[in-house]
Amino acid sequence: MDLYPFFDWLDTSMLADISKAHGGVFAVVQMFHLLGMSILGGMVLVGDLRLLNVVMRDTPSEIVIENTHKWFSIGLATMIISGIFLSSAVSLKLYYNEMFWAKMSALAVGIAFFYLVRRPLLSVPHEGIKPGLLKLMALTSIAIWFTVAASGRWIGFS
Amino acid sequence: MKSEAERQSSSSHKPRQVIATVVCVIVLASLAWFWSEQVKEVIEMLELAYGDGA
Amino acid sequence: MLNEWLLSLARFLDAQNWSTQIHESIYLYAWIETTHVLTLMVFLGMLFVIDLRMLGLAFSNVRASTIAERLDKPMMIGLVLMVITGVLLYFAIPVRTTQSLWFRIKVVLIVFAAVNAFAFRARMQASVSTWDTDPTPPRHIRMGAAASILLWAGVVVTGRTIAYDWFDCHKELPYAIYWAAGCVDEMAAFASE
């Protein structure tokens, strides 16, 4: 599936008119992108560090995990919406950027892992889950989101 | 004493745990490969720039 | 006076070898900057969890004091990393950063955010026993948490805009901007005109 038409359309869209012409708007949207990243990262870290028994050990992990889900989704939605706007400024350049596609792949894996594996599995009492698997999932989740963020930053340098 | 329903849910939960474990291992292996490629590229670049005592 | 002093300090740092080395290295500057930005997930991430609890928007079935106390350490680890990498970034480009209007606003906002955090902590410690298990904390606590989020959002956006050259000293700008950005030479030229 070639997504070139989408990037070509984005390059000439109204979003691109704004993002290319107004550096101030771009910077403010980037702030939302980074705040979304912080919310998502905070929720992921609190949940995963709890599964690894690093933080909040006196609060049941079910309660910690359950509380992170809503704001994870809000952070993710903020990032995707702001991310589309940000990419409109350089969409054709991104299409040919390897790091961008690395980030998109990691993002797709992260979303699938979160909604299809981590959340359904952790919705039952955690004592029924092998402790080793809880820790393995926490490490996987941290590794995925670190990769998404790091490869995202690297787009700007590559 | 576990109720019948609870036992049911925990037994149907087993394959899910196996799948989750497999997914985690595959994802972690892919990420390890991705980062090792990045590190290799960086080392190559640094060797080009500073290597051979040039 | 202060501007002259800051500028001469920046010029002194700029003359150091390691400032140039960070700035001109292939990867070092980018790595430091990436670490600075990624650590937002640790520092601002933990701060958001705490502030959202104080706003009554998340973790409402967990004691507010539990959230604040248990997440304090990871948040501080994030803060320390951000300060270290931030100082290194400043050392890599000292003169331009010193004369950056955005950087100056950012530093002021960080000071405000720190003052707000200390005031918040004091108010919280004085009253938390009366509302610790309430899903929504009292109004003065919510105001403090909202101020914290807004101030840090301001820090993020001004941090980002340092990269833009809109108000760089070499541009033709009003005297007030030269003054606020500390463009010492440009101010002198303005006066002699």
Cα torsion at C14, C155, A90, A93 (round to 10°)?
A: 50
Mean of pLDDT values over C7-34: 92
Q: Mean pLDDT per segment of 10 residues, for chain B of length 54 residues?
A: 49 82 98 96 89 58
How many CB atoms lie under 10 A from the CB of residue B22?
10
Q: Give CA–CA dist A32/A75, Å, rounded.
A: 9
Q: Give tens-digit pLDDT for A6-25.
A: 999 999 999 999 999 998 99
Query: Which chain C residues are closer than 8 Å to B46 by Cβ?
Result: 26-27
Scan residues 74-93 of A and list those with Cβ closer than 8 Å to C. Answer: none
Q: Which residues of B touch A129 (CB under 8 A)?
A: 13, 17
For residues C48 and C58, what is the distance between their CA atoms, to the nearest angstrom? Answer: 10
Kindly provide the b/e burial profile for residues A37-61, where b requires at least 16 CB atoms within 10 angstroms of the residue's own CB: bbbbbbbbbbbbbbbeeebbeebeb
Total domains present in chain A: 1
Among the partner residues A102, A109, A128, nearest to B27 by beta-carbon distance:
A109
Q: Please, what's the b/e burial string for A89-100 (b: 16 or more CB within 10 A of its CB; e: otherwise)? A: bbbeebbeeebb
CB-nearest to C38 from A24, A35, A153 is A153
Find out whether C152 and C103 touch, Cβ atoms under 8 Å.
no
pLDDT, one tens digit per residue, over A28-44 is 999 999 999 999 999 99
Give the side-chain half-sphere CA count within 13 A for B20: 28
Q: Which of B21, B27, B35 faces A113 most closely, judged by CB atoms?
A: B27
* pLDDT of amino acid B1: 45
pLDDT of residue C26: 82
The contacts of residue C129 (CB under 8 Å, 6+ apart) are none
Q: Model confidence over C137-193: pLDDT tens digits?
A: 999 999 999 999 999 999 999 999 999 988 999 999 999 999 999 999 888 888 787
Domain housing C108: 2-192
Which residue, C42, B21, C58, is CA-closest to A69?
A: C58
The verdict on a CB contact (< 8 Å) between B17 and A139 is no
% of residues, chain B, pLDDT over 90: 52
**Cβ–Cβ contacts within 10 Å for residue B3, how many?**
8
pLDDT above 70 coverage of chain C, percent: 99
Contacts of C37 in chain A (CB under 8 A): 34, 149, 153
pLDDT of residue B10: 53
The answer to whether the beta carbons of residues A35 and C38 sit under 8 Å apart is no
CA of A38 to nearest chain C CA: how many angstroms apart? 4
Q: Do A143 and B9 touch (CB under 8 A)?
A: no
Of C38, C39, C62, the residue nearest C49 (C-alpha): C62
Q: Does A153 touch chain C (CB under 8 A)?
A: yes
Residue C168 has a pLDDT of 93
Report pLDDT digits (tens) over A126-140: 999 999 999 999 999
Is-contact A31 C157, C-beta < 8 A?
Answer: yes
Q: Is C58 on the interface with A (CB under 8 A)?
A: yes
- A78 contacts: CB under 8 Å, gap ≥ 6: A32, A33, A35, A36, A39
| Residues B21, A133: C-beta atoms closer than 8 Å | yes
Q: Which residues of C touch A67 (CB under 8 A)?
A: 58-59, 61-62
pTM as predicted? 0.92
C131 CB-contact burial (10 Å; exposed 0-12 / middle 13-18 / buried 19+): middle
Number of domains in chain C: 1
Mutate to test the interface with B, among A99, A105, A116, A121 (most CBs of B within 10 A): A121
Q: Is A128 on the interface with B (CB under 8 A)?
A: yes
B17 vs A129: CB contact, 8 Å cut-off?
yes
DSSP secondary structure letters along C106-145: HHHHHHHHHHHHHHHHHHHHHHHHHHTT-SS--HHHHHHH
The distance from CA C109 to its chain's CA centroid, rounded to whole angstroms, is: 6
The domain containing residue A136 runs over which residues? Answer: 4-155
Closest chain C residue to the Cα of A39, Cα to Cα: C45
Q: pLDDT (tens digit, 9 = 90+) per residue, C41-83?
A: 999 999 999 999 999 999 999 999 999 999 999 999 999 999 9
pLDDT score, position B53: 53
Q: CA-nearest residue of chain C to B43?
A: C27
- Residue closest to A67 by CA, chosen among C43, B16, C146, C50: C50
Residues of C in contact with A55 (CB under 8 A): 70-71, 73-74
pLDDT at C136: 96
Mean pLDDT to the nearest integer, C93-113: 97
B48 reaches C (C-beta below 8 A)? no
Burial class (CB in 10 A: 0-12, 13-18, 19+), B9: middle
The verdict on B13 touching A (C-beta cutoff 8 Å) is yes
- Torsion on CA atoms C89, C94, C95, C98, rounded to nearest 10: 80
Chain B residues with beta carbon closer than 8 angstroms to that of A136: 21, 24-25, 28
Closest alpha carbon within chain B to C27: B42
Average pLDDT over all residues of chain C? 94
Q: What is the pLDDT of residues A75-113, one digit of tens each?
A: 999 999 999 999 999 999 999 999 999 999 999 999 999
C89 interface with A at CB cutoff 8 Å: no
Query: Any residues with CB less than 8 A from the CB of A132 and at least 6 apart, and which?
Result: none
Closest CA to A15 of A82, A88, A115: A88
The pLDDT value given to residue B54? 45
